[in-house]
Chains A and B, each alone.
Chain A
Amino acid sequence: MSASSPAFDVRAYVREPVDLRPDQLDLEAMANLPAPVVGAVGHLWSVERTILDLMRDLLVTPTHAEARVTAFLGTWAYEQFWITESLAAVLRPGGEPTDPPDSGVGALRRMWDERVRPTVDAVRTNLLGSDVVAAHMVTGWLNTAVVALAYERLGAIDPRLRPLTAAVAPIKSRHLAFYEDEAHARLSGSAGAIRLARRTVTRWQWPGVRYCGHDAASGPVRTLLADPAARPGVRAVDAGVAALTGQADAAPLRVALGGFVQHSPVGGTVRASTRVQ
């Protein structure tokens, strides 16, 4: 298989989706979780449920023509839907889960994203051409790797959640395999794709902060990653990005976590506890 031919078997993937349904989980065993853990689960629910936002952002670009990618996305969305439903079921004993409120800037961003950005992106990315697909695949890998790390940490923090996190892990692994494969194939030999991917990686932010801001997400991020035991996972995510063609010195997760430090109260616990070296 040449570097420019993706090897991931999309047809096999779409044929055997893993739908993690709430009735497969012992929800009673996951009741009465400590508040910080509930906050972290709620944060993940809020991130995972933006399934169709992500699809919209990809499909208005030249990525929509990539039948391999759209075939993957249809099944990915299905799997994501059931993960979100399962997270909601875990949270429901404490009340119906809701997204954190938008910050002032976040509300403007949301208005822009919903009313203007699809149009601007459709025109801009179609002018950029198919190189933009590589950037989408890199971002897809990064978002998935970070969320997968969050689940891994969640299982370590509260063993009662391990049946959930253990079930999610193989789902995320397949998503990562697809994105990695596509990213490698599309970055190989394309200076334009590498440049666009680098720009996207540089601007990447922790998922879910675009509208609610760093303050609202800092608690869950602290819960998930403040422990030194999280550091190898953080480094592994950055190393995964750096291993992609043309992204050698990238460390997007470490940079994004720095965003929480910048937004934390001066001298506050967030500054100290979310710093990852």
Chain B
Amino acid sequence: MAFNIDRFTRDSVRVNWEDLDLDVFREDPLPAESLRTLRYMCDVEYHTVCYLRDMLVTPSRGEGEVNAFMTMWNREEFWHGEALAHVLDLHGITVSYDELKAKRVKLGWRDRIAPVKQAMLSNIIGKDFVAVHMIWGAVNEWSASAAYKRLAALEGHPALAVLLKRIAAQEARHVAFYATQARQRLEGNRKAQKLARLALSTAWRPVGSGIASDEEVTHVMGQLFGGADGRKEIRAIDAHIAKLPGMEGLTIVSDSLDARGISA
């Protein structure tokens, strides 16, 4: 899978929803469980800038293509947050900048110290940390893309489905970047492979685990990926991961659902 960074930066746009008839939600609102999931997704998207921060203190910053990607990626993810915030707003749920700030402040020292931990770890590991960053990003983007597609299918709402599929399509381009970079950096590099495998198998958690309560994570994962169809998507993500150099046999996403008691 090749990735053309020039084409990606050239074509990067904010996700659009103005042409969609989302006002129908005023009379025909989404169920509470889906709004809860959308709120979680919205928070995660807005929090991207903090994930970006944690990466900017590592050797990943300074890599030309990575810098260009991160600039566009951060903006696209921000707009995913704006789009979902619009849907929530139509349901009377306001996501303001003040509220986002309050949430970030509430995360406390765990959040503030995150870049310190990341910087120290990456200083010890050196350049191979970039490979870990890339495979980590790939897993998260595969998960995000699958999550949007699942919610679109589960809700079956025509306008919402189009919006979620547009977001998923952008996430898929992010996958292409991360997976291409991960493959290039892991290929033939046993040390990077071992590090990536160790990091994923011991530290990876579903996207949003760092900012949401366990209860919320379990709700979202259960709604989107519980049951046979959901688990099929999860297995597909694990299969993608396992195809990357040195990752054979890893089933971290399935394992994380099992650990939360989410049935297949």
Binding site for B on A (CB under 8 A): 10, 14, 21, 51-53, 55-56, 59-60, 62, 64-68, 70-71, 73-75, 77-78, 81, 85, 114-115, 118-119, 122-123, 126
Contacts and interface: CB of A to CB of B under 8 A. Distances in A.
Contacts of B57: 56, 60, 118-119, 122
Nearest to A58: B53
B53 A59 contact: yes
Is chain A's interface secondary structure helix, strand, loop, or mixed overall? helix
Interface string B101-118: 100110001001101100
Contact of B116 (A53, A56, A122): A122
A70 B105 CA distance: 14
Contact of B71 (A21, A60, A77): A77
Interface string B163-200: 00000000000000000000000000000000000000
Contact of B104 (A67, A78, A118, A119): A67
A45 to B, nearest CB: 14
Interface in B1-40: 9-10
Interface stretch (B44-52, B229-237, B252-260): B44-52
B93 interface: no
Contacts of A66: 101
A156 to B, nearest CB: 30
B91 interface: no
A18 to B, nearest CB: 14
Given A119-B116, A122-B116, A64 B104 contact: yes
B46 A114 contact: no
B53 A60 contact: yes
Contact of A60 (B9, B72, B109, B115): B115
Contacts of A123: 113, 116
Given A52-B67, A64-B50, A123-B116, A74 B97 contact: no
27 contacts: A51-B67, A52-B56, A52-B67, A52-B71, A55-B52, A55-B53, A59-B49, A59-B52, A59-B53, A59-B56, A59-B115, A64-B53, A67-B100, A68-B101, A77-B74, A78-B71, A81-B72, A118-B57, A118-B116, A118-B119, A119-B57, A119-B120, A122-B112, A122-B113, A122-B115, A122-B116, A122-B119
A67 B101 contact: yes
B97 A10 contact: yes
A74 B49 CA distance: 8
Given A118-B116, A122-B115, 20 more contacts: A14-B78, A21-B10, A52-B70, A53-B61, A55-B52, A55-B53, A56-B61, A60-B57, A62-B112, A65-B105, A67-B97, A71-B97, A78-B72, A85-B9, A114-B61, A118-B57, A118-B119, A122-B57, A122-B116, A122-B119
Contact of B46 (A10, A21, A67, A85): A67
B215 interface: no
Contacts of A14: 78, 82
B69 to A, nearest CB: 11
B113 to A, nearest CB: 7
Contacts of B119: 115, 118-119, 122
A51 B71 contact: yes
A126 B112 contact: yes
Contacts of A114: 61-62
A85 B112 CA distance: 33
A78 B9 CA distance: 10
Contacts of B62: 114
A14 B83 CA distance: 13
A81 B97 contact: no
Contacts of A21: 10
B84 to A, nearest CB: 14
A53 B70 CA distance: 12
A259 B50 CA distance: 36
A259 to B, nearest CB: 27
A74 B61 contact: no
Contact of B101 (A10, A59, A65, A77): A65
Contacts of A119: 57, 115-116, 119-120
A238 to B, nearest CB: 31
Closest 5 CB pairs of A and B: A59-B53, A56-B56, A67-B100, A65-B104, A67-B97
Contacts of A126: 109, 112
Given A52-B61, A59-B49, A122-B112, A81 B101 contact: no
A62 B112 CA distance: 8
Contacts of A56: 53, 56-57, 61
B263 interface: no
Contact of A81 (B56, B71, B82): B71
Nearest to A54: B56
B209 interface: no
Contacts of A71: 78, 97
Contacts of A10: 97
